[in-house]
Amino acid sequence: LFESAVDLLSYGTMQKLDGKDWRRENLLSLAGVYKPKAKIEESSLPAALVQYLADYPHIRKAVLRLDNDYTGRIAADTIKTLLSQRYAVKVAIQPPPQGKDYNDCLCMRLGLPVTKRKERSKER
């Protein structure tokens, strides 16, 4: 699972560079994440993930490859907790080995400059 399509594609590219077939994995972009409620149990899972699990009930393991920032880490912890409670899915959290996200990681690997991001306001 990825926060964005760019991160999913960057991960797939790194898999291909390593000689692996990225198409053998079930990859899903969540199109962003959100801050959970104060009580995690009252939070909801991303709609894309709920639909994906309904469409592919054979999935028993999820790897959360969300951004390595505060929002990504708290979202990963929340999704892991909720998935473990509501589905028979084993969950692992695997942030990028370097950089903020998998696109940064790919850029660093290829020696490309990492794109600077504007600071977001807290009004989200």
Tokens of residue 4, six digits: 């964005």
pTM: 0.86
State the DSSP string of 9-51: HHHHHHHHHTT--GGGS---B-S---PPPSSGGG----HHHHH
The candidate with the shortest Cα–Cα distance to 63, out of 31, 86, 90, is 90
At 37 the pLDDT is 86
Mean pLDDT (10-residue bins), the chain, 124 residues? 96 97 94 87 92 94 96 95 90 96 96 76 48
Q: What is the dihedral of CA 47, 49, 50, 56, to 10 degrees?
A: 140
Alpha-carbon span 70 to 75, nearest angstrom? 8
At 123 the pLDDT is 47
At 119 the pLDDT is 54
At 122 the pLDDT is 52
Alpha-carbon span 5 to 61, nearest angstrom? 20
Tokens of residue 1, six digits: 């699972």
Q: Which domains does the chain have, with CATH numbers?
A: 5-110 (3.40.1360)
At 124 the pLDDT is 44
